[in-house]
Amino acid sequence: MAKPIGIFDSGLGGLTVARAIRGAFPAESLVYLGDTARVPYGTRSAGTVVKYAIGCAERLLSFDIKLLVVACNTASGVALGELQARLDIPVVGVIQPGARAGVKATRSGRIGILATAGTVASGAYERAIHSVNDAMSVFARPAPLFVPLAEEGWVTGDVPRLAAQRYLQPLADVDVDTIVLGCTHYPLLSETIHEVAAELLGHDVAIVDSAEATATTLTEMLDTSSNVSAQPGSLQILVTDLPAQFGSAASRFLGKPLQGLDIRAIDL
């Protein structure tokens, strides 16, 4: 049987990546781990996130995965090197693909990043963007409240708009033309982010979602001949807490009936 792809995030956000991978490679089987007992990662120290990331990766290895996708920017920012050194399968993060997509999208060379406090502190986006093009101006800002809003499904209306106004004003002040959603939870709020950013800037702005960019990166790594198979791959979901709550959010998000989801609680 073909080996699955392992994917992990602190919670629901990484499903944006799982959805993009599923769309691009429908025949691939996926095992998704949401570390819901320890979400959020973005407010914790780098050392703690590295420890959590190793725990998630080790559990996914027990499913004999062929490739690991770190579908969390915070973990990609602080733990990718450590995971790549420890594992003897390919390990892909979301920051480099998001950075490349940001550079491709900008016209003015002024790129805003919205991310967790941990990702902003790691400086990972600045490094990744400058490794592609060192003439870019990068402005990274934390937007921590977007994580609980996304987990809650509260993605439009007054409350997310107010949060977006507060978080986006500093990026509008420096006149970015592109905003990279540097947290896998944030694409759930992309409509609100896009609208508020355009209002504050007075012009349209490109919103880059690193989930899509990450799925594109996998094209270079997967043997896509297996994707000609008419059989769709399986999706197994593991969570470290509250499986029922996660399941209903995930089914809303993936557009699948809850009964159709294979979701299991685990301990790490």
Contact positions toward ligand DGL, by CB under 6 A?
9-10, 13, 39-42, 72-74, 116, 119, 147, 183-185
The encoded tokens of residue 205 equal 């702005």
Select 13 or 160, whichever has its Cβ closest to ligand DGL.
13
Q: How far is the CB of 245 from ligand DGL (least distance, A)?
A: 16
164 and 189 Cβ atoms separated by less than 8 Å: yes
Number of other CB atoms surrounding residue 175 within 10 Å: 15
Select 41 or 167, whichever has its Cβ closest to ligand DGL.
41
72 is catalytic: yes
Catalytic residue among 183, 197, 205, 206: 183
Q: How far is the CB of 116 from ligand DGL (least distance, A)?
A: 5
CA distance 148 to 35: 14
Select 41 or 125, whichever has its Cβ closest to ligand DGL.
41
The encoded tokens of residue 14 equal 């990484």
Q: How far is the CB of 72 from ligand DGL (least distance, A)?
A: 4
Select 29 or 119, whichever has its Cβ closest to ligand DGL.
119
Task: Give the full edge-to-edge strand order of the sheet including 178-182.
Answer: 137-142, 110-115, 178-182, 206-209
Select 34 or 201, whichever has its Cβ closest to ligand DGL.
34
The encoded tokens of residue 227 equal 């994707």
56 is catalytic: no
Q: Which helix (H) or strand (E) holds 95?
A: helix 95-105
Q: What sign does the dihedral 15-20-26-30 (CA atoms) show?
A: negative
Catalytic residue among 65, 70, 72, 261: 72
Question: Which residue's CB atom is positioned nearest to ligand DGL?
Answer: 42
Q: How far is the CB of 75 from ligand DGL (least distance, A)?
A: 7
Q: How far is the CB of 203 from ligand DGL (least distance, A)?
A: 27
Three-state secondary structure readout of 106-175: CCCCEEEEEECHHHHHHCHHHHHHHHHCCCCEEEEEECCCHHHHHHHCCCCCHHHHHHHHHHHHHHHHCC
Residues identified as active-site: 72, 183
